[in-house]
Chain A
Amino acid sequence: MRYWNEPIETMSRDELRSIQDTRLRRTVEKIYTNVEHYRKKMQDKGLLPGDVRGAEDLRLLPFSTKQDLRDTYPYGMFSAPLDQITRIHASSGTTGKQTVVGYTAKDIEIWAECMARCLVMAGQDKRSRVQVSYGYGLFTGGLGAHYGAERLGASTIPTSSGNTQRQIVIMRDFGSTCLCCTPSYALFIAETMEDMGIKKEELSLQAGCFGAEPWTEGMRRQIEDRLGIRAHDIYGLSEIMGPSVSQDCECKAGLHVWEDYFIPEIIDPATGEVLPDGAQGEIVFTTISKEGMPLIRYRTRDISSLTHEVCACGRTHARMGRLKGRTDDMLIIRGVNVFPSQIESVLLGFSNVSPNYRIIVEREGLLDQMTIELEINETLFADTVKGMEDAERGIRRQLDSVLGITSRVRIVEKGTIDRSMGKAVRVIDKRNLIG
């Protein structure tokens, strides 16, 4: 099986454009009518739905950001009434206010369609066994991949994340052919397999769809080599859909964005100006089929680039470049979103003064490791080793429970953290994501 939906995946750019024009017009009318927040934003720009005739008028429309979702928390951006919403997902919020996304039954169907296309790109079909090791829950990874695998007709194995040894036994015994998880977890699986003395030849694994965190070509080569598979880069974000907004094909020359559902743009994050193919900037998506929560020109804060050239695989859908980073200070650590402000609020609880700290992220072996270096202060300093270790442990536990991932805490001397720029450099990301 080469394509899941050949007529759509390989349709001419003109036909694709025509679909986009129609669907965009419909989406703009719908949000103008149903979403007060969007209506106001359009009115502020003096725009009426009829002003948007097609995709070429996209740039007339206002951007949307995560802030819009926060301002209208929880349901203010929904375009469909709640009785039509069949699924709600949420992504971790910085200040306790998470962003909420609602899907109608049709949205879930389209999501499954996108994921099925991605799985076929990864060489899977209905005889395949797809092991979903993304977490199941409010995070879109698990259920997103799951519904796509079922849509494909593959035998879907919902292992969710964690319990790695058992995952590996299942993978071997059940003959999983495709693994869906974060790339760092894939490497962790490979390492655990080696510890268990299980060889890649004992597996039936052919491919993997790996995403939800930034990774590199170097990691891809390692995963492919150690698991004996083809590793695909899958991209998504809950606001737009979840995993399967785009994925790379066997050519590994960029991630195909399913343009019959999402229109991508690259903008200059400082000016908002739309940039041409090949230029690097912030990737922005407009959903043109969603019913539950359509978003117009949603700023992802992910740095990428676009090409609209037809790919050697025969697909005509635009390709986005591998993610180059993020425009804001959010860190993605082991697939989990971490904001320095969350860390700061925990540290504040342990000091009477504003904490001076920095966050160091490294990739140790295969997994991301975060260390919080915190300058000693009156509140923290105990005269005994036990007292100091208790303080460190208390902070670490609190961070673990707030962030949902483990970190290290290291108390350092006063004056260790550079303040030469007036403001301390808070984040030092030593993960080498260029290779």
Chain B
Amino acid sequence: MNIVQLSVFVENKVGRLRAITKVLADAGVNILTMSLADTTDFGILRFIADDPDKARNVLSDHDVMCRATDVVAVRVAHTPGALNELLGILGEEGIQIEYMYNYTELAGDGGLACVIILRLSDQANAAELLRGRGIKLEN
């Protein structure tokens, strides 16, 4: 199943990123994970919030350009070869990755698990395909 990621346009200027995190902090929005893509003139901050609707509302109230995008979050074991296995399946299904980032959390057994956020080509059908291959998706 898809989950909602928020993308924000950030100019490459001192203090701009903080202006955005301040809006989120003041609203009590927690960022579960994020990544920042950068170019010469601007960056794109992508993040998963604990409350995406609220995050989106406060950002647009502050005139911050923000867009919601569907991504999938895949939980894999925090062990060597787990990512390689996932990518192997994506390859076999002919699915391309537009971008990805991840976070680590405690697994039920007290060990670590890794959650990988993926934006995929054919995002609409990718989740179904992956589930069909026995991959566990977060929701």
> Which residues of A pack against B, CB within 8 Å?
376-378, 381, 383-385, 388-389, 410-416
Expressed in whole angstroms, the Cα–Cα distance for A410 and B41 within the complex equals 7
13 more CB-based (< 8 A) A-B contacts, given A378-B67, A413-B65: A376-B9, A381-B9, A381-B65, A383-B7, A383-B44, A384-B37, A411-B9, A412-B42, A413-B10, A413-B11, A413-B16, A413-B64, A416-B11
At the interface, yes or no: B92 with Cβ under 8 Å from chain A? no
What mask results when residues 55 to 76 of chain B are scored 1 for a CB within 8 Å of chain A, else 0? Answer: 0000000011101010000000
What mask results when residues 11 to 48 of chain B are scored 1 for a CB within 8 Å of chain A, else 0? Answer: 10000100000000000000000000101011010100
Expressed in whole angstroms, the Cα–Cα distance for A36 and B29 within the complex equals 72
Expressed in whole angstroms, the Cα–Cα distance for A99 and B127 within the complex equals 60
B residues in contact with A389, CB < 8 Å: 39
At the interface, yes or no: B109 with Cβ under 8 Å from chain A? no
Chain A, residue nearest B42 (CB): A411
Picked from A378, A381, A384, A412, the residue with its CB within 8 Å of the CB of B11 is A412
Expressed in whole angstroms, the Cα–Cα distance for A172 and B67 within the complex equals 59
Expressed in whole angstroms, the Cα–Cα distance for A18 and B42 within the complex equals 66
A residues in contact with B65, CB < 8 Å: 376-378, 381, 413-414
B residues in contact with A415, CB < 8 Å: 63
Task: Tell me how far the C-beta of A341 lies from the nearest C-beta in chain B, rounded to whole angstroms.
Answer: 25
Task: Tell me how far the C-beta of B40 lies from the nearest C-beta in chain A, rounded to whole angstroms.
Answer: 9
A residues in contact with B99, CB < 8 Å: 384
Picked from B7, B44, B63, B69, the residue with its CB within 8 Å of the CB of A414 is B63
B residues in contact with A413, CB < 8 Å: 9-11, 16, 64-65
Is the pair A384, B39 in contact by a Cβ cutoff of 8 Å? no
Is the pair B63, A381 in contact by a Cβ cutoff of 8 Å? no
Q: How many residues of B contact A (CB 8 A)?
A: 19
> Which residues of B pack against A, CB within 8 Å?
7, 9-11, 16, 37, 39, 41-42, 44, 46, 63-65, 67, 69, 98-99, 119
Picked from B37, B63, B64, B67, the residue with its CB within 8 Å of the CB of A385 is B37
Expressed in whole angstroms, the Cα–Cα distance for A376 and B44 within the complex equals 12
Task: Tell me how far the C-beta of A421 lies from the nearest C-beta in chain B, rounded to whole angstroms.
Answer: 19
Is the pair A414, B64 in contact by a Cβ cutoff of 8 Å? yes
A residues in contact with B7, CB < 8 Å: 381, 383
Is the pair B10, A384 in contact by a Cβ cutoff of 8 Å? no
Is the pair A383, B39 in contact by a Cβ cutoff of 8 Å? no
B residues in contact with A377, CB < 8 Å: 65
Picked from B44, B46, B98, the residue with its CB within 8 Å of the CB of A388 is B44
Is the pair A411, B64 in contact by a Cβ cutoff of 8 Å? no
B residues in contact with A410, CB < 8 Å: 41
Task: Tell me how far the C-beta of A409 lies from the nearest C-beta in chain B, rounded to whole angstroms.
Answer: 10
A residues in contact with B10, CB < 8 Å: 413
B residues in contact with A383, CB < 8 Å: 7, 44, 46, 67, 69, 119
A412-B11, A416-B11 known; A384+B41 contact, CB < 8 A: no
Task: Tell me how far the C-beta of A155 lies from the nearest C-beta in chain B, rounded to whole angstroms.
Answer: 48
Task: Tell me how far the C-beta of A300 lies from the nearest C-beta in chain B, rounded to whole angstroms.
Answer: 38
Is the pair B98, A384 in contact by a Cβ cutoff of 8 Å? yes
A residues in contact with B63, CB < 8 Å: 414-415
A residues in contact with B11, CB < 8 Å: 412-413, 416
A residues in contact with B46, CB < 8 Å: 383
Expressed in whole angstroms, the Cα–Cα distance for A172 and B39 within the complex equals 44
A residues in contact with B98, CB < 8 Å: 384
A residues in contact with B119, CB < 8 Å: 383
Chain A, residue nearest B98 (CB): A384
B residues in contact with A411, CB < 8 Å: 9, 41-42
Task: Tell me how far the C-beta of B124 lies from the nearest C-beta in chain A, rounded to whole angstroms.
Answer: 15
Is the pair A381, B67 in contact by a Cβ cutoff of 8 Å? yes
Chain A, residue nearest B11 (CB): A413
Is the pair B44, A385 in contact by a Cβ cutoff of 8 Å? yes
Expressed in whole angstroms, the Cα–Cα distance for A415 and B119 within the complex equals 29
Expressed in whole angstroms, the Cα–Cα distance for A414 and B39 within the complex equals 18
Expressed in whole angstroms, the Cα–Cα distance for A388 and B43 within the complex equals 10
Expressed in whole angstroms, the Cα–Cα distance for A415 and B41 within the complex equals 16
In the A-B complex, list the 7 residue pairs whose CB atoms are closest, starting with the nearest. Answer: A383-B7, A376-B65, A414-B63, A376-B9, A413-B11, A383-B69, A415-B63
Chain A, residue nearest B64 (CB): A414
The contact sample of 25 A-B pairs, CB cut-off 8 A, is A378-B65, A381-B7, A381-B65, A383-B7, A383-B69, A383-B119, A384-B44, A384-B99, A385-B37, A385-B39, A385-B44, A388-B42, A388-B44, A389-B39, A410-B41, A411-B9, A411-B42, A412-B11, A413-B9, A413-B10, A413-B11, A413-B16, A414-B64, A415-B63, A416-B11
